[in-house]
Amino acid sequence: MVCEKKIVDEVSGWLRVFDDGSVDRTWTGPPEVEFMAQPVPPHDNFVEGVATRDALVSADSDLRVRIYLPENNEAMDLDRLPVVLHFHGGGFCISQADWFMYYYIYTRLARKARAVIVSVYLPLAPEHRLPAACDVSYSTLLWLRSLASGDSHEPWLSHYADFNRVFLIGDSSGGNIVHEVAARAGNEDLSPLRLAGAIPIHPGFVRSERSKSEMEKPESPFLTLDMVDKFLSLALPVGSTKDHPITCPMGYGTLWIEDSKLPPFLLCMAGDDLIWDTEMEYYEAMKKGKKEVELLISAGMGHSFYLNKIAVDMDPNTASETEKLILGITEFISKH
């Protein structure tokens, strides 16, 4: 007799967890948006000014990255290019570095910022609960250090990258990883690599208690209260709450942040983000902790709006705010 698996947890459209511990991430939402969650094959040739390739960081752990290389511009690229280490979003539970939604936006950033972007294929929860994604992300930063010192070799990075200007960037939960990796890096000698800056975009900083913005601001395609609650319940260490330091670094007091050695930060927020209040609480904690932090606000926009290709194409305001976001990030990279 064959026993049919039963769903024990589900995040609508995105993920189903079964009673045998298996996970199905087949998209079951509206078919017209499925293309944004489809993988884009790497291409060594330049397409609209950017080439991509996948590289193996560690054969032992199957750690891989997707690399975006902008086409050489002799008038602009007089030196090597800055490196932007990217951590994708998805509540630690879904999405991949090669999804179209990331390909679409990070090819744009590579072109605009004249930067090599290295996007990490993160381990996903609940199979790999936190801090697994943070550990892999930090290991990738240490791999960049080994490339900078010549102990490892990756053709594109070894030839084009300026390891004296390495930045961290992350979308949503990837923004949480940005803070965690930056804090860990402050305790390590990364030379000859220099961590020049960190850019959390709409980071998933929350508290166990609902904030006013969670109760009052509108839900968006990329963030609902159900997603916040269920993804984090599947991702955080067993027995932990949202007040865990990865999801609530501002909850451990000003001294905890003040004692962390952090690079300059550009915190990107969206005016209609459900988790606006706790993101702003993080910003205030960084300021009180005497950290160098700038704020870039996208007025009238929801969580991760810039990843929604349909909205960017159809709504002039979303398109305009996406362009401003890319420009603001580019300017931050250029001055550091």
* Amino acid sitting at position 18: F
CA atoms of 133 and 126, how far apart (whole Å): 11
Name every residue whose Cβ is closer than 8 Å to that of residue 207 and which is 6 or more positions away in sequence.
242, 243, 248, 251, 278
Catalytic pick among 86, 88, 244, 303: 303
Six-digit token pair at 270? Answer: 């969206």
Catalytic residue among 273, 277, 298, 304: 273
Please report, for residues 141, 142, 154, 160, the alpha-carbon distance to residue 177 in angstroms, rounded to integers and kept in the order given. Answer: 12, 15, 24, 25
* Cα–Cα distance, 57 to 23 (Å, whole number): 26
- Is 173 annotated in the active site? no
Q: How far apart are CA 183 and CA 187, in angstroms?
A: 7
Task: Write the CB contacts of 325 (distance below 8 Å, at least 6 apart in sequence).
Answer: 201, 268, 296, 298, 306
Respond yes or no: is residue 172 known to be catalytic.
Answer: yes
SS3 call for 305: helix
- Name the active-site residue from 172, 260, 298, 304: 172
Q: Does residue 273 have an active-site annotation?
A: yes
Residues annotated as catalytic (active site), given as ranges: 172, 273, 303
